[in-house]
Structure 1
Amino acid sequence: MIKKIATLLISLAVALAIAIDGYLLFFKKGDAENVATDSNVNSQSGSSTSQTSSISNSSSSSSSGSGYQDGIYTGKSASMRWGNVQVKVTISNGKITKVQTIKYPTDNPHDQQVNSSVLPTYEDEAVKNNSSKIQSVSGATETWKGFTKSLQSALNKAES
Structure 2
Amino acid sequence: MPRIILWMLSTVVGLVLLFSYRTSTGQSTTTETVAVAPAESTTADGETYTGDTVQTQEGDVQVVITVADGKITAVSVPVYPSGSQKHDEISGSAIPVLVEETLAAQSAEIDSVSGATYTSGGYRQSLQSAIDAAQL
TM-score band by shorter chain is 0.5 to 0.7
Residue 55 of structure 1 aligns with an amino acid whose one-letter code is A
Distance 2:83 2:39 in 1: 27
Q: Which has the higher helix share?
A: 1
**1:8-157 matches, cutoff 5 A:** 55-58=39-42, 71-157=47-133
After superposing on structure 2, the runs of 4+ consecutive aligned residues of structure 1 that deviate more than 4 Å are: none
Note the C-alpha offset of 1:105: 1.1
Residue 56 of structure 1 aligns with an amino acid whose one-letter code is E
Gaps of 5+ in 1: 1-53, 60-69
Q: Provide TM-score, normalisation by structure 1.
A: 0.58
| Sequence identity percentage | 35
Note the C-alpha offset of 1:56: 2.4
Gaps of 5+ in 2: 1-37
Considering Cα pairs closer than 8 Å and 6+ residues apart, tell me whether 1 or 2 has the greater RCO. 2
Note the C-alpha offset of 1:137: 1.2
Q: How many residues align?
A: 97
Residue 92 of structure 2 aligns with an amino acid whose one-letter code is S
Highest CA radius of gyration, 1 or 2?
2
Q: Provide TM-score, normalisation by structure 2.
A: 0.68
1:158 aligns with 2:134: yes
- Secondary structure of 1:55's counterpart equals coil
